[in-house]
Chain A
Amino acid sequence: MNLIEQIRFLLHLTHSHGIARRYFVTNGFDGALTMLGLCMGFYISGDVAISVAISACMGAAVALGVSGVTSAYISEAAERKRELRELEEAMVSQLDESAHGHAARFVPYVIALVNGMAPFIIALAVMMPLLLVRYGVTLPVNALQAAIGLAFFIIFLLGLYLGRISGSSLLWAGTRTLLIALVTAAIILLIKM
């Protein structure tokens, strides 16, 4: 069994697919919305240097990633240990060397990685226009405007993904998350005014 099959088996054994998916969406949403807030803040502040915006966004992306990995690992490891202990009591045997024991040790890493990488990668994606401009690429629009637009688009895509999972209307699911992003942007604008 290769590593991918092993991960799939352990996630299947512990019914963790849903948890990983939920973490991906919630923390990915966090990442996109945080970047939207930062870029909106820089945009309405006026003349902020791109390098400053990149440093601030990168700092936030790293913090979101590290926070996602560590918080998920700590909570998932504790939860898995408790589940394993309860199962061992029910089975009246040690399960450390069984698939359940491996899952209790390994699944928290997978969940933590998903929880940390989702906001980090999405934040990097939102930052892409800033990075392109920083490295000399000319964009047809302002880099911060492009990053804000990209954040809205990614949030819409996350909504579509949620719609696909729930089997409901894709357009409505995407529009709903987009509305949340628009309300966030409006609040930031109101605070500035």
Chain B
Amino acid sequence: MISVKRLMLDVLKPHSPNALDFAKHIVEQGPDYHVILTVVAVDEKTESVQVEVDGSDIQFDKIVEAISSLGGSVHSIDEVEVIGNGEKPE
């Protein structure tokens, strides 16, 4: 089984909800997620944020869905950390 351990996303979001509420919503998507959100740039109605998610098995689709549900959009995946279980593919 391949597990995603770490993701770094470049996200554009509206000002509301604020960074704290936004990060809380993302962290609720997994039992052991750890989220670090950094505001990179602030515009009149939007802000660009860097979202770093750590966890034992990150579900990327759920993260994107959570971001979209709060009006954000993922612009790019900037870093990933993926771990395999050592089994060779057939």
Instruction: Report A's interface with B, CB cutoff 8 A.
Output: 12-15, 86-87, 90-91, 93, 95, 97-100
Chain B residues 55-90 with CB under 8 Å of chain A are 68-71, 73
Instruction: Report B's interface with A, CB cutoff 8 A.
Output: 12, 14, 16-17, 43-46, 68-71, 73
Return 5 A-B CB contacts under 8 Å, by A number: A13-B17, A15-B16, A86-B45, A87-B14, A97-B68
Residues of chain A with a CB closer than 8 A to B70's CB: 98-99
CA of A93 to CA of B16, assembled, Å: 16
CA of A100 to CA of B46, assembled, Å: 13
Residues of chain B with a CB closer than 8 A to A97's CB: 68-69
Q: Are B71 and A98 in contact (CB under 8 A)?
A: yes
Minimum distance in angstroms from B29 CB to a CB of chain A: 14
> Given A14-B16, A97-B68, A100-B14, does the pair A91, B43 have CB atoms closer than 8 Å?
no
CA of A87 to CA of B13, assembled, Å: 10
Q: Are B71 and A87 in contact (CB under 8 A)?
A: yes
> Given A98-B68, A99-B71, A100-B71, does the pair A91, B46 have CB atoms closer than 8 Å?
yes
> Given A86-B45, A97-B68, does the pair A91, B17 have CB atoms closer than 8 Å?
no
Q: Which of B44, B71, B73 has the most CB of A within 10 A?
A: B71
Residues of chain A with a CB closer than 8 A to B68's CB: 97-98
Q: Give 20 new A-B contacts, CB below 8 A, not counting A87-B14, A99-B70.
A: A12-B17, A13-B16, A15-B16, A87-B45, A90-B14, A90-B43, A90-B44, A90-B45, A90-B46, A91-B12, A91-B46, A91-B71, A91-B73, A93-B73, A95-B71, A97-B69, A98-B68, A98-B71, A99-B69, A100-B14
CA of A13 to CA of B14, assembled, Å: 10
CA of A182 to CA of B84, assembled, Å: 79
Q: Which residue of A lies closest to B46 (CB)?
A: A90
Residues of chain A with a CB closer than 8 A to B45's CB: 86-87, 90-91
Residues of chain B with a CB closer than 8 A to A86's CB: 45
Q: Which of A14, A86, A95 has the most CB of B within 10 A?
A: A95
CA of A95 to CA of B12, assembled, Å: 13
